[in-house]
Chain A
Amino acid sequence: MNKLKPNFFSAPILSNQKIGKNYFCLKVKTPQNIDQVEPGQFAMLRGKWNYDPLLPRPLSIARAEKFQLDFIYEVRGRGTHLLSLMQPPREIEILAPLGNSFPPPENSLPLLLAGGIGFPPLYFYQQKYGGKLLAGFQTNPELDLFSDKIIATDDGSLGFKGNVLQLLESCTEINNYSTIMACGPRIMLKQLKNRCSPLQCNLFLSLEEKMACGTGLCHGCAVKSRQNDYFKICTDGPIFKSSDVNLEE
């Protein structure tokens, strides 16, 4: 259970450095102790610029300790580009922590599968609880965080040539895991859900969608439920049991 209520605050930037090809690590100081933040939770971040880009950006939390939050993000559009330019002593507006989290391990450690920029919450999980992490990228991410052995790249520029699910089949036995956790592109999550459906494992998916508020107010980030109505990814998730959501819409 997450005890920490979401808080809107202005956070001094401690550092914001490039750590790979198009990947940055942003570290900020928080006004309250955030040790209780769990892997899978996220924050809404916005630089103190004017109205364009207008909306804060949802980013997964990559590490939370005492009075410091770390985010690892990929520069994709104007919002993340402007974010990458912000350096100390500037401050950034943050609403955090938001959403639910991956469940802590019970009897055995989970398999953690990441696609692209889906890796930060799983990296956080592995650092906090352990588990076997496999990560797929389109091309060499030039990150200094992982062993080559757990990396798959579509173009073969690093580690296994292929996607993360192909890497999984090649290096481990999926039946050995009673719990699998994943975060990545929707197509990867759909394939994983199909792969796991005949198995007896618990599959937890971290979902993404365009978000305006992150607080459940706007109903913007919808995903179809098994009952055919909609969950709000920001407050009902972002972590869902795969059987609870319909990813085909």
Chain B
Amino acid sequence: MALKLNTSLAGQTLKNPLMTASGTSGHSTLLSNYFPLEKLGAFVTKGVSSNAKIGNKPPRICETPSGLINCIGLENPGIKFFIDNYLPQFPSETLPLIVNFFGNSVDTYIKAAASLGQIEEIFALELNISCPNVQKGGILFGSDPIAAGDLVEKCIKATQGKPVFVKLSPAFSNFLETANQVMQAGAAGLTCFNTYPATDIDIQSKSFKLSLGKGGLSGPAILPLSLLKLHEIHTHFPEVELIASGGVNTAEDIIKYILAGANAVQLGTSILINPTSPIVLLDSLKNLCLKMGINNLMNLKGKVKG
């Protein structure tokens, strides 16, 4: 029997569950230098905002044991430049394109959602709620479930029907309530999760290693943390479509997330280590499925025991 790797999100079939994670594959098709992007189940862009952002001053990254902390600062050329220059590069007929977006106020989020919502070539949007609300003293949208739900509802209205996946922050203990609120607001599903707030210190210079003093931790170090939280969300909301993100580096990691309840799995830091990792992992996933006697990968969804 032929191996079935396909999955579905928001009513669309994806040929496999692998996609890029926002922030690790740029805004353009740069990654196509290393493999045909159509091999992916979907492509998720680096985040875009209505106005261009130049990002934070360096140093922007530091390596930690099995991890990477970044404070890039959501550098992006702005939505108009993205739509005019990068979007046409994507083979949107054969590659579902998910555009990650953010703002710094309710209004800028809505403006971004409205601009992107009308673009036919975009399959879905991914809404980053881990940003500070400058109109509310910099409090993070993702820290307040009610504010997050309100933001998502307004953005969905602005997109005129485009599926919106909400990328949750793992930083808050109320993430289940946030998941509940944003799903009630009409989100198509959840991306679980963004990076973890983290820092590192250089003891010789007695200074933080990152210009902001802190950043977001990614890489294999976070996989067990995000795996647990994703499974908790799946347990509470078994019908919700979940996109896993956090520390995936092997085919085994992909299967773990699917067993925990994921419909799809994003690759982030692994692409930075090796830009061909999506096709390496796809091959490795096929081999592992054959070895394990798996005919239909999605039959494993949420099937972890106990």
The interface of chain A, by Cβ under 8 A from chain B, is 5-6, 8, 46, 51-56, 93, 95, 209-213, 215-224, 228-230, 249
Contact = CB atoms under 8 A, between A and B. Distances in A.
B274 A220 contact: no
A51 B219 contact: yes
B228 interface: no
A54 B276 CA distance: 16
**Which secondary structure dominates where chain B touches chain A?**
loop
Interface of B: 23-26, 30-31, 33-34, 46, 54-63, 65-68, 70, 72, 75, 219-221, 249, 269, 271-276
Given A51-B66, A222-B55, A222-B57, A93 B274 contact: yes
A219 B75 contact: yes
B34 A8 contact: yes
B2 to A, nearest CB: 29
A229 B31 CA distance: 23
B66 A217 contact: no
Most interface-central of A6, A222, A224, A229 (chain B CB within 10 A)? A222
B24 A54 contact: no
Contacts, number: 101
Given A55-B273, A249-B57, A220 B70 contact: yes
A215 B58 contact: no
A224 B57 contact: yes
A219 B272 CA distance: 11
A224 B58 CA distance: 9
Contacts of B272: 55, 212-213, 217-218
A9 to B, nearest CB: 10
B174 to A, nearest CB: 30
Contacts of A54: 63, 65-68, 219-220, 269, 273
Contact of A6 (B33, B60, B61, B274): B33
B246 to A, nearest CB: 14
Contacts of B46: 219
Given A8-B276, A51-B220, A220 B66 contact: no
Contact of A218 (B24, B62, B276): B24
B31 A217 contact: yes
B65 A52 contact: yes
Contacts of B24: 213, 217-218
